[in-house]
Amino acid sequence: MSIRSCLATALLIATLPLAGASANPLAGTWRAAQGDQAVEITLSPDGAFARRDIDAAGGAMTVLGHWTITGTGPWLRLSIEDWAPRRACGLLGCTEIRMLPGATYRYRLTEDGVLLLEDSGGPIALRRAG
């Protein structure tokens, strides 16, 4: 076997999933609508997340960071690294939008494909979008 074919075989094997490895069932895009607000959160297999909240007037807030499953219970931890917009402006001027460094949710994935997230603000039910 030539060096070129050995390298090609090695690269092919390196791109295959590990034996026994399975994708995290939380990975994907999830959507919900509550009242006049829509929420979309994408949990990427590499641990990145993006959350977008849109209000009835079309105003949007985007939060980016990384997600992990923590502890022995079903806890989803979102570590916030960036967000936009950074300022909110109104009739009385502008103010800085501040974010906590993260959020932790108790989660449950139901048999009918609903992701339930709950924190001190109450539950939210999201459906898989992609």
Q: Going from the N-terminus, what domains does the chain have, and what CATH number goes with each?
A: 25-128 (2.40.128.280)
> Distance (Å, rounded) from C-alpha 64 to C-alpha 79?
8
Residue 77, pLDDT score:
95
pLDDT digit string, tens, across residues 97-126: 999 999 999 999 999 989 999 999 889 999
pLDDT band at 130 (very low <50, low <70, confident <90, very high): low
pTM of the model: 0.77
pLDDT digit string, tens, across residues 53-101: 999 989 999 999 999 998 777 999 999 999 999 999 999 999 999 999 9
Of 61, 65, 58, 21, the C-alpha closest to 42 is: 65
pLDDT digit string, tens, across residues 19-44: 334 578 899 999 999 889 999 999 99
Pairing of strands 75-84, 102-109: antiparallel
